Chain A
């Protein structure tokens, strides 16, 4: 079953604009991760935020986590054409073995 649900399903922006993607999940988590997938390629890890963290930055990426609302957001600032890809959130629950449960993803198109 898929834990995370990304919103929107698709997003189209102009180069230089900011892109915001949201992820909601259902059960308590240990950490939440964001991955990027270019068309026809594997997934690449972007950033991990733990359940006791509220915000994290990495380069042009900013991730927030609100455990009370069971939601996270990924902000990409000053987007580039090369950011065109699908973005997935993945959650790791606090119980059981270490497994990532992925959402359906947001397809981002950055228009040059």
Chain B
């Protein structure tokens, strides 16, 4: 079974530029999450999707971050404009049920200069 795919793995941008990250969850997983992990900290939830609907985006900085999940499968997380404090690893995770583990991708490491 293929795992959660994310791209790009690494991205370096200047502040005020924009960036987009892509995630393809495990086939059949209805629930998809985006987490932000700043160096030395644990992952922090940004947004949760159930199929193509948003379940929780209360911690998403909506003035600069946006996310969508097309047709309930792939998802894109966008940052525009980026700030220095957005430097982090952006992790995508998915799950098939509400009782077990989350499956994580390798993450997309963003450096904002």
| Interface status of B43 (Cβ within 8 A of chain A) | yes
| Interface status of A85 (Cβ within 8 A of chain B) | no
What CA separation (Å) do A110 and B106 show in the bound complex? 23
Contacts of B109 on A, CB cut-off 8 Å?
A: 40
- A15-56 interface bits toward B, Cβ cutoff 8 Å, 1 = contact, 0 = none: 000000000000000010101000011111100100000000
If A43-B43, A102-B42 touch, whether A48 touches B105 (CB-CB below 8 Å) is no
Contacts of B43 on A, CB cut-off 8 Å?
A: 43, 88, 102
| Interface status of B25 (Cβ within 8 A of chain A) | no
What CA separation (Å) do A74 and B37 show in the bound complex? 22
Minimum distance in angstroms from A101 CB to a CB of chain B: 7
Pick out which of these stretches binds chain A: B13-21, B72-80, B94-102.
Answer: B94-102
For window 61-97 of chain A, which residues contact chain B by CB distance below 8 Å?
Answer: 88, 90, 96-97
Q: Are B101 and A33 interface neighbours, CB within 8 A?
A: yes
Q: Are B55 and A41 interface neighbours, CB within 8 A?
A: no
Partner pick for B31 among A2, A44, A96, A98, CB 8 A cutoff: A98
18 A–B pairs (Cβ distance < 8 Å), ordered by A: A4-B42, A31-B99, A33-B101, A41-B106, A42-B104, A42-B107, A44-B104, A88-B42, A88-B43, A90-B42, A97-B55, A98-B99, A99-B45, A99-B48, A100-B45, A104-B41, A104-B42, A105-B42
